[in-house]
A and B are shown apart, each in its own frame.
Chain A
Amino acid sequence: MKEKIQSPITNVSTLDNYQIRDYSQGFSWWGPSPEEARKIMVKKPKALSDKRTTLKEAVNKYVKDGINLAIGGFVNTRPPVATIHEIIRKGAKDLSLSFQSNSICPELLAGAMLVNPGHLSIKRVELAWWGYEVIGIAPLFRHLCANSMIELDDYTNYGMAARFKAAAMGLEFLPVRDHGGADMELVNRGKMIESPFSGKNTYLVPACYPDVGILSVTAADQHGNCRIFGAHCTCPEIAMAAAHTIVTAETVISNENIRTYPNLTEIPYTAVDAIVEQRFASYPGASYGNYWFDMEHILMFRSASEEFRKSGNADALKKYYDEYIFGCETHDDFLAKLPYKTLKKIREMDGGQPIILS
């Protein structure tokens, strides 16, 4: 392996040595190694079996303490909220989280940790962005950082996407054209090398092989063949990168339908371990062709989070968890707490984009 080199980045910002990643410990995977991930894949039965199950069963089977959990979707687009709720109900400690840009999913996990760290905790996060876009910054993320409660590994959105893609390809890393010359070069786990071909500086990002990937897709058959309409985000890559993948589908369609248009399958059944049919699985996030995001609900949770960050008073936050997560057995119970008019409105706001289910 070529020696680590670097761009002239140290001349630019005020970032000091103390803040730079300590490379003396060597590199370690924050989840399975490529070899371990492959072994898990090889051992799986490849039958076109019926993988339909409940979220409770799927989460119980795959989500354990200390795993690397990859969160699919992108900010408010198809966040796997139903699965996050179930993970919070079950509890899991020392999680590593991996995602590109997300909003309510990591905030919900962070809130669960702040409300009851003995039940759920986040150890470290590999990410590109954590916030609510138009709605504002993520208060709980800011709180965790200000109090050094999590270890961070910062990339760009393409960096995280390329890391999942590298794992989807069975590789150890991918060369990318970003991060170099920026401080991410000094703080993340990537590495600048000289290209073995041109001798030019080339940034490598390590693959990200999560233990468990959680995704919310438009439609899937019972075997796990998935269709995604609207932005794919990095869902296909995450499904292929993860050792195990739990998918919620807004609708389960027949295998015959899948075989009518095989080109529409974005995730093959071999990459999926559990399929749960769940309407509004991304609520309060959006699912193209089904519903838009519910800004009011996100604002309600965000205000409770902001109150906690500013005053340390967790009452409103606890109330949210008790009402909408711990007070529910299933995602349907959560949806039943919402006014019908809310669901009607977010369906209308999507405008019924054409999606192919037949």
Chain B
Amino acid sequence: MSEHTPFEMIAYTGSRVLEDNTIVFVGTGLPIIASIHAQLTHAPGLGIIFEAGPLTPILDMGMPLSVGDTRACRKACFLKGLCSVFELTQRGHADYAFIGGAQIDMYGNVNSTFEGGTYKAAKTRFPGSGGAGAMAANCEKSIIIMALEPRRFTPKLQFLTSIGYGDGTPDYREKSGVMGSGPYRVITNEALFGFDDATHRMVLLEVAKGRTAEDIQKKVSFELLISPDLKEMVEPSDKDLKLLREECDPDGYFLARKLK
């Protein structure tokens, strides 16, 4: 089997997580690549929403580089604006939110607002919520991509941008007035995580070949729950890599980057 890059592993795992005949609400980058790969393999009935307006476009001009660009809107079934697509999520039309961020805690809450300093004087200000906060609130399940580093898998976020299970209490999301059921999977190149139904804490479900649960725990700054049925992550086949490289991201905008 060919060597794959960390980004290819993330995109492939993202694709595996998406079920056929569902709707995924995506941002730019790896979520789009994962969704295109899923459509080309096990999930031809997967529909995509981009936040600027389109529902279920046909991405026959290639991967969109911006959530509102021509490619994202091409041959959509329904194309209006932000209000209409986010209202679809509130009403239950979107099965998955596919988001990223800078920090995550054990309850799947995500920070994409700032790091260092304070909110009013942020040392490193990120672009902000964008659609992520609304997607995590109201798509039925959230899938979160995060680089596996101790400073990113943190016990306490500096700012909670996208809601997960909050403080882990059973009715946190209900008290927040949101509609979706919450975090579902967290994807990294070395591990796949889910959440425990009772405690809402992050659970290690799968590890990459050659890694152990201890290896993963060292890269996470809070205590992980370990699935009693811990599995090895499936690696992309040569056919998957060919699809990812030649069909999903042929110009290498996202897959060809190097992890820091």
Contacts and interface: CB of A to CB of B under 8 A. Distances in A.
Interface in B162-195: 162-163, 166-167, 169, 172-179
A321 interface: no
Given A7-B175, A146-B122, A200-B177, A292 B159 contact: no
A277 interface: no
Interface stretch (A27-35, A37-45, A70-78, A322-330): A70-78
Contact of B129 (A134, A155, A192): A155
B159 A156 contact: no
B12 interface: no
Interface string A132-167: 011001100110011110001011111101100100
A170 interface: no
Interface in B58-78: 61, 65-70, 72-74
Interface in B1-59: 28-29, 50-54
Interface in A194-232: 200-203, 230-232
Given A9-B176, A234-B82, A14 B122 contact: no
A100 B179 CA distance: 22
Contacts of B124: 142, 146
Contact of A183 (B160, B167, B175, B253): B160
- Interface size range of chain B in the complex: 35 or more
Contact of B127 (A8, A129, A182): A129
A14 to B, nearest CB: 5
A292 B72 CA distance: 12
B158 A230 contact: no
- Interface size range of chain A in the complex: 35 or more
Contacts of B89: 158
A283 interface: no
A349 B64 CA distance: 12
A157 B159 contact: no
A327 to B, nearest CB: 28
A140 to B, nearest CB: 11
A26 B17 CA distance: 46
Nearest to B79: A231
Given A75-B67, A184-B129, A201 B118 contact: no
Interface stretch (B131-139, B196-204, B209-217, B225-233): B131-139
Interface in A164-183: 165, 176-183
B107 to A, nearest CB: 8
Interface of A: 7-9, 11-15, 18-19, 73-78, 100-101, 127-131, 133-134, 137-138, 141-142, 145-148, 152, 154-159, 161-162, 165, 176-185, 187, 192, 200-203, 230-237, 286, 288-289, 292-293, 295, 349-351, 353
Interface of B: 28-29, 50-54, 61, 65-70, 72-74, 79-83, 86, 89-90, 105, 107, 109, 111, 113-114, 117-134, 137-138, 156-163, 166-167, 169, 172-179, 253-254
24 contacts: A7-B172, A8-B167, A74-B52, A101-B131, A154-B113, A156-B130, A156-B131, A157-B130, A158-B82, A159-B133, A177-B138, A177-B179, A178-B137, A180-B176, A180-B177, A181-B176, A182-B109, A182-B161, A182-B163, A230-B79, A231-B72, A286-B69, A293-B66, A350-B70
Report the 5 A-B pairs with minimum CB-CB distance, sorted nearest first.
Answer: A181-B176, A77-B68, A131-B127, A232-B81, A129-B130
